[in-house]
Amino acid sequence: MQFLAQRAARFEKFLDDHGRDADGIIYSALKADELRPWQNRDFAGKGYELWDHWAGDFAGAMNYEDSIMATGRYVDAKILKHLVVGGDKIALADAAQAVKALLAVAREGDKTEPGYLPKPYGGLRHASKSRNISTDQYEHALFAFWRFRQACPDSPLVPDIESAVIRWADYFIRHDFAFDYYGHVRIAVKQAIHVLGFYLPLMAMAHRITGNPEYRHVLTSRLAPLISKLFIIEDDSPARIAHPNIVNLNVIGLLYCWQNDICKEECRRAIGAWTRLGLKWLSADGLAYCYAEGSDSSPVAPHYIEGTNQLNFKFLQWRSNVKGAASCAIAHTLLLAHQVFPEVGWHARALDILGRFGEVLDFHFYNDPAGDRIPSEFAYMRHMLSPQHMGAWLQSYALAAGF
């Protein structure tokens, strides 16, 4: 573990020095060849195809698309480090700064509607203008808050944390657990299974904070019956597109339920099944395939598939054997699942993945050094560095060191 400890210190310092904006939000993506946030001039006159939804400030969206998720991972990694070391005041201070940033974004979202947590395109000062949310951002923020609340129960931030959690719970109850995605798609529980990994713990936490039986009733009558219908799957089910991020979201939420005796046996089975599905995306070189068609033995030729997608974004039709740093999310999932299945060997498998990452530039979304696995009209994606996946690496390392 010593060589991983040295890397952890280097990656943590990079996030502290280069991965945070002035408000404490962790960037979603950085321009890898210059190790800086994206600027709109990076796309001008290059012949790139940009998603029209982001027209006007494409760089602002690139930098902040998954920044809530990345900031949540950062908080979790810092708190875990504090717990593993046995007291790290600097890590706690960094976590508190990031929690303040998440709370600030939440307050900006409340200007749209109480409980609305926007993707803060363009940074905090523009967050109130954003009309885009996704439950994966909420989920990482929720568990960052919960980890901080447990580690720092006397922090003056705790009342604001608890208030935000309640507003989020009330928001989704009000909307019957459905939400608009980019203004193109209405997402309900049965349309995106990973949302259940967020809704279950959200209701449980809201109940723990308030004691209000409504949250418990919603959990047991509205959500819990869906676990068996949506989560309990056969390990070899071909119907599941279990991207590492989706698997990670599911297992984070399911583990919380398992630890708190919420549908414990169903959650146990689901954790095992989803973790194994996520492993199917892992390449022998420790990276994760970006598409379900990816394979070590039968590489998929780069091509566009026919048809259209709900978001009307051409890149979503692309397929190739390209790989990237999402394997860090697989490592995190393995270490969470290890707590339920310590006999399987997932701890060692996670360490193998972590060992694949030795330098900052290893954390590309798309590892395409030859330039033949990403189409030329989206060539900028070859240069996307992922602070989020670096955060997942740090979360995983801290969990591994704590076992």
Enumerate long-range contacts of 110-113, CB under 8 Å, 24 or more apart. Answer: 110/167, 113/171
Cα gap 277→297, rounded to integer Å: 18
Overall residue count recorded for the chain in this entry: 403
Would you state the pLDDT for residue 402? 85
pLDDT tens-digit series, residues 237-276: 544 567 999 999 999 999 999 999 999 999 999 999 999 9
- Which pLDDT belongs to residue 184? 81
What's the confidence (pLDDT) of residue 229? 79
The predicted pLDDT at position 361 comes to 97
Rounded-to-integer distance, Cα 334 and Cα 344, Å: 10
Strand duo 30-31 + 384-385: pairing? antiparallel
Q: What residues in the chain have per-residue pLDDT under 50?
A: 238-239
Q: How far apart are CA 393 and CA 367, in angstroms?
A: 17
Residue 323: count of CB within 10 angstroms of its CB: 24
pLDDT for position 239: 44
pLDDT at 74: 98
Tens of pLDDT along 345-387? 999 999 999 999 999 999 999 999 999 999 999 999 999 999 9
Whether residue 233 contacts residue 257, with contact meaning beta carbons closer than 8 Å, is answered with no
Whole-model pTM over 0.85: yes
